[in-house]
Chain A
C-alpha cells in the first residue's frame, strides 16, 4: 500500500481523526508525569544546582524547534515535487508550533543561562542560529498571510522554508562545527549512553520529550485538519461565486 494515499485529504481526515485523541491524552499524561517528576522529584545537580530543572522544558522545546523546521522543509520538498496540497498545508500548520517552540527554547535558554553562564544572552553561533531560525518561522508565517493566492503562497513559502534550512542545520550542529568555541554545551541526549545526562535526570527527560512530541503531533494534526477544511470552504465559496 502506497504512503501517498495519506496525501489524499479524505484519507488524511479519516486517519488523523482517529489518531488525534490518542495524541492529546498521551501528551497530557506524559507532560504531567515527565515535568512533575523532573521538577519535584529529581535530586539537586552537583554543578548547576536547582537551575538544572529547566532541562525538562528547554531540551524538548529546542529539539522540537529544530525538528519542526526539518519537517516543514521535508513537507515543502514533497509539496513542490509531487504537488500534494496536504504537504503544503502540513508545513503551514507546523510553522506557528515551531515558532512557539523556538520562542520557548530561547526564553528558557536565557533563564538557564543567567545562573549557569552568568549572562542571559551571547552572540554564540548556536544561539544566533536559533534566533535567525525563529525569524525564518515568523517570515514564513507572514508570507503565507501576505499572499492571497494559496497556490502561489504555497510555492513561495516552500522556497523560503528551504532557504532557512541552513539555520536549522546550524542550530543543530553549531556546537560540533565550532568545536570548543561556543558557550553552549553539547547535546544532553546521544546514542552513546556515556554522553547522556545522568540516569536520574535522563528518565524524566525522556518522558517529558515524549509529552512534547505528542503535544506537537496533536497540534499538527488538528491544525492540518483545520487548513484542509478552510481550503474546502474556500473552494465551495469560489464555486458559489461562479454559479
Chain B
C-alpha cells in the first residue's frame, strides 16, 4: 500500500468534496449537540417549576 497525498489535476475536485463532507458533518453534529443541551435545560427548568408548585 502506497500513501498518496498528491491528488494531481483532480485535487481541485477532491479537496472541496472532502471539505463539504467536513462542513456538513460538523454542522449536523454541532446542531444536534447545541439543541440537545437547550432541550435538556428547558425540561429541567420546567420540572423544577412544577416541583416548586407541588
Cβ–Cβ contact B10 & A58, under 8 A:
no
Residue in B closest to A236 when the chains form the complex, CB atoms: B46
Give chain B's interface secondary structure class: helix
Number of interface residues of A (CB under 8 A): 44
Cβ–Cβ contact A96 & B42, under 8 A:
no
Cβ–Cβ contact B13 & A240, under 8 A:
no
Cβ–Cβ contact A54 & B46, under 8 A:
no
Give A76 to B47 CA distance when docked, in angstroms. 30
Q: A236-B47, A237-B46 are in contact. Are A108 and B20 (CB under 8 A)?
A: yes
Give A57 to B14 CA distance when docked, in angstroms. 10
The smallest C-beta distance from A64 to any residue of chain B, in angstroms, reads 11
- Which residue of B7, B18, B29 contacts A50 across the interface (Cβ within 8 Å)? B7
Cβ–Cβ contact A233 & B39, under 8 A:
yes
The smallest C-beta distance from B35 to any residue of chain A, in angstroms, reads 5
Interface string of B19-31 (1 = CB under 8 A from A): 0110011011101
Cβ–Cβ contact A239 & B50, under 8 A:
yes
Q: A43-B2, A230-B42 are in contact. Are A108 and B8 (CB under 8 A)?
A: no
Listed from nearest, the 7 A-B pairs whose CB atoms lie closest are A236-B46, A50-B10, A229-B39, A51-B10, A226-B39, A111-B17, A233-B43
